Copies of this chain bind each other. A is one copy, B any other.
């Protein structure tokens, strides 16, 4: 088989790269290991007509107009401003922390102009190390012990299965605190949900005369039989190099879906459960699209060490291995021209817009 560019992976990085390269006149072959495209953004309509995100809630948000214009070429977007409530002390409280969170938690009534001094007093009354030695110190030094205990301590335990004292301070280098009443989870200029779904959006990205897509197709099995001038690799970084420096760990999530006989289950699309139960959050998908049904589909998330990769694990060990693999890329580029793009191949945390932005940079995209 022959092409100009072989793209391994039909997630957001692979689809964006394939599209840009095809529009630059290249013949692109995309191989996807799974049966479906769109990677962890994959969504589908279930039997109740509700669009379900197979790997947890994805809300598109960006401040980058070039990125926003690019994705809007492939699907219209429903305006959607994401709000999250945290279930704590038996009630639903706005999160991330803003003036209303503080009034609710502390039973006070303060104007937005006093948020900063209120938190400063909370911090002054708390105990922590300076400089921060771990995640707990980093959060407590920003919001004080009571808010840390309520929103961060147990959530972090669930998410990472370890005490916050064992996590590095950098993870919490800046906790978003709003000194106003803005209840939104993101404050980006552009926010929305693709009307055709992420799967529809990416199918349209791949719909170009220069692009051929194969699903259920493993890059490692097929690569030797495919002649090409460049490989765009979006799979796991360590796997490309046969795990020669050891495995790069991921945190995964078990997604438990349930459809219930209620028209509406919760006030907002995502409710976090920092302290209660074993799940970290419940998503009610209907909120994203306004789809109508007598039933509603929910997803509970249970963080787990096993399963599809969701989050990189920022331990010293993993970050050191990552450096060794990145050095291998440099070395290998002479004999096999290749680009490593996206969350898995770069082993870093990216929001969706950051993935696209990174591909633009490497492939001379718009903007």
Task: Provide the residues of chain B in CB contact with A89, threshold 8 Å.
Answer: 178, 180-184
Instruction: Name the segment of A101-109, A131-139, A223-231, A323-331 touching the other chain.
Output: A101-109
Decide if B183 touches A91 in the complex (CB within 8 Å). yes
The answer to the question of A110 belonging to the interface, with a C-beta cut-off of 8 Å to chain B, is yes
The answer to the question of A81 belonging to the interface, with a C-beta cut-off of 8 Å to chain B, is yes
Known: A90-B83, A90-B183, A191-B276. A111 touches B108 (CB 8 A): yes
Q: In the complex this chain forms, how many copies of it are found?
A: 2
Whole-angstrom distance between the Cβ of A10 and the nearest chain B Cβ: 29
Known: A180-B89, A182-B90. A277 touches B107 (CB 8 A): no
The answer to the question of A117 belonging to the interface, with a C-beta cut-off of 8 Å to chain B, is no
Task: Provide the residues of chain B in CB contact with A174, threshold 8 Å.
Answer: none
Pick from B103, B107, B190, B191: contact of A103, CB below 8 A: B107
The answer to the question of A99 belonging to the interface, with a C-beta cut-off of 8 Å to chain B, is yes
Chain A residues with a Cβ closer than 8 Å to the other chain, count:
36
A89 to B91, CA, bound (A): 23
The answer to the question of A45 belonging to the interface, with a C-beta cut-off of 8 Å to chain B, is no
Task: Provide the residues of chain B in CB contact with A180, threshold 8 Å.
Answer: 89, 105, 107
Interface set of A (CB-CB < 8 Å, partner B): 65, 79, 81, 83, 89-91, 99-100, 103-113, 178, 180-184, 187, 189-191, 262, 275-278, 290
Q: What are 28 A-B pairs with beta-carbon distances under 8 A?
A: A65-B278, A79-B277, A81-B90, A83-B90, A89-B180, A89-B181, A90-B182, A90-B183, A90-B184, A91-B181, A91-B182, A100-B107, A103-B107, A106-B111, A106-B113, A107-B110, A107-B111, A107-B112, A107-B180, A107-B181, A108-B111, A108-B112, A109-B109, A189-B276, A189-B277, A190-B277, A191-B276, A262-B290
